[in-house]
Amino acid sequence: MTRRFRSIGRMATLSLVLGFAACRDTTAPVEPPVETPPPPPAVVPPAVVIDTQAARVAWSFVEQNTTAATGLANAIYPFQYVTAWDIASLIAAAYSAHAIGIVSDSTYDARIRTILGTLARVPLFEGAAFNKSYDSHTAQMISSDRQLSSVGYGWSATDIGRLLIWLRILALNEPQYATLASSIVDRLDISRLIRNGTLQGRDLDPATGIARDYAETGLGYEQYASAGYALWGHRPSASLDPSAHTSRVDIYGVSVTVDARGNSRITSEPYVMMGLETGFWSPTLREQAVAVLAAQEARWRSTGMLTMVSEDALPDPPYYFYYYSLFHNGRAFVVEGPEDGSYIEAPRWVSTKMAYGWNALFPSPYTRLVLDAVQPAAVPGRGWSAGVYETSRLPASEQGLNTAALVLESLLYQSRRSQPFLSQPIQ
């Protein structure tokens, strides 16, 4: 009706104008009215379709593995010990699931407040920093041999860096948690976690009871973790620099930046998390990320093996936890157990969390091919397995918290039209 009335009104006005002109000068030519062209239709960007089924599978791991009293979740089923890194992943999973819309406001608020409340009261190693591991059921420190401990066995500045990133995401994006997040950061003795601009870890020797400090370095992880400290005003200047201590190697025709200090695993994880959470704060880091992905695609083109490297818990002996690195200690595409130099040929797997992460950051025919390949790793009601084996394409059966978190983060990143979660610059 509105459109019809507007049309009638416009024609009535036009008739009056023409009639008046005809009365004044019947010989004058009458020019046709000039119609204002309608505005072009608004350009509406295509809707982002989120794979909520994938998100629900990921979130099911958190639901099935959380202890209500502490809010903490097992790192893998049924392994009940968690690091600061794992707790950050738990916050990331809850934040992403809520933002995607598969977790209600009340459920999310209760979970986050319980997790933050636990972090505000857990004992710290030497009163300075989060212990390397806690029991998720009781929030007590554990020793290196997985026994409850009043002493603990050290800290990882890298793990704490990931937690600091997620505490900052909460504090800035959801101000209702800012005070509690800040109070948790204030518990840390940052002067012991950064020395001469470099991240510092600490280990307790179980035989002697003597603790030692060590520099936590390694291209990729070092810059990612350092961002967490910088976001809270504590800048590890040497560790933040992605150009220090680097050299170049050729991997399947791709020039990749590696750590010239040697003992640094170049893998997908830090670059994917950096891109999703903080964004690449320098062109150098973005170039490195692009090269890391390109080298994996180059291996597939050369060997026919779909390649998506990461670190994961797997059900395979002898180590059950493996690093699959693009490059380490002079070797390309190497698999190791937890100890440096424990090289083995298998298992080799296509990582679920990296398939989702790389496809969110740099979607291409290759990343979509890999994403399709890992779909058998979904176990509804239990979570996403680490991935599928390169050769058989059968799923690797361990479901884990870090995989759940990165699947959810990747889906959230896509729903945000490829915007990282933080807008605060890294300086």
What's the 3-state SS for 416-427?
CCCCCCCCCCCC
Alpha-carbon separation of residue 192 from 89, 196, 390 (angstroms):
24, 11, 42
Classify residue 241 by its DSSP letter.
-
What token pair was written down for 113?
């407040």
pLDDT at 50: 84
Query: What's the predicted TM-score (pTM) here?
Result: 0.88
- CA-based radius of gyration for the chain: 27
pLDDT at 263: 75
Dist CA 354 CA 267 (whole Å): 10
pLDDT at 243: 92
Alpha-carbon separation of residue 417 from 34, 49, 344 (angstroms):
41, 11, 40
Dist CA 107 CA 198 (whole Å): 39
C-beta neighbour count of 13 within 10 angstroms: 11
Q: Which domains does the chain have, with CATH numbers?
A: 50-415 (1.50.10.140)
Q: With a cut of 50, list the residues of the chain below it in pLDDT.
A: 1-36, 42-45
pLDDT at 284: 96
pLDDT at 40: 52
Q: Residues 310, 351: contact at Cβ < 8 Å?
A: yes
